[in-house]
Amino acid sequence: MIDIEAKNLERWLKRVSVDLEGPITDGAVGIAAAIQHVIAPYPPVSRRPQPFKSVRQRRGFFAALRRGRIEVPYRRGRSPGSETLGRRWNIRPLSFGAVLENRARYAGLVHGKKGRQAAYHARTGWVREDQAKEQIFASGEANEIMAESITRAIKKG
């Protein structure tokens, strides 16, 4: 889950005669959409081996395979257990902010922050949430989106 929140605005907002809560929230939603554009695309399919980490993991895998809960080879979006990760993104507006989240229960293993993302997903090209957020903020795109949203509101007001 990626939070985008405008902070320390009190002093600045007192100087402007326009209510900026809506435009700032709209800007945060726009930034969340830009981050989603970076994080959501699937990397190419990898057929790299994923060795078992323990005997318990191996036993669990074969038990799930026998019960039909998983399928080999795994087919994105079609295999049992797939929650169609790419279609589970959601942007939730907040007062002066927004939250970008993926509701697939395994999303943290695929896109989670450093140390939370599964090593296999890191090796096969899945973008972490902190990488996507950093890319949008470091490029200046986040500033442009927010500035455009605020400028539109001030011109209207």
Q: Is residue 76 part of a domain?
A: no
Q: Is residue 143 part of a domain?
A: yes
141 contacts 34 by C-beta, under 8 angstroms: yes
Q: Is residue 79 part of a domain?
A: no
In the numeric block, the tokens 């002093």 are attached to: 11
- H or E element that contains 4: strand 2-5
Residue-number span of the structural domain to which 122 is assigned: 2-49+88-151
Mean pLDDT of the chain: 87
Q: Is residue 94 part of a domain?
A: yes
What are the beta bridge partners of residue 10?
A: none
What confidence tens digit (pLDDT) does each residue in 77-98 have? 777 777 888 889 999 999 889 9
Q: Is residue 43 part of a domain?
A: yes
Say whether pLDDT at 7 is over 80: no
Q: How many domains does the chain have?
A: 1
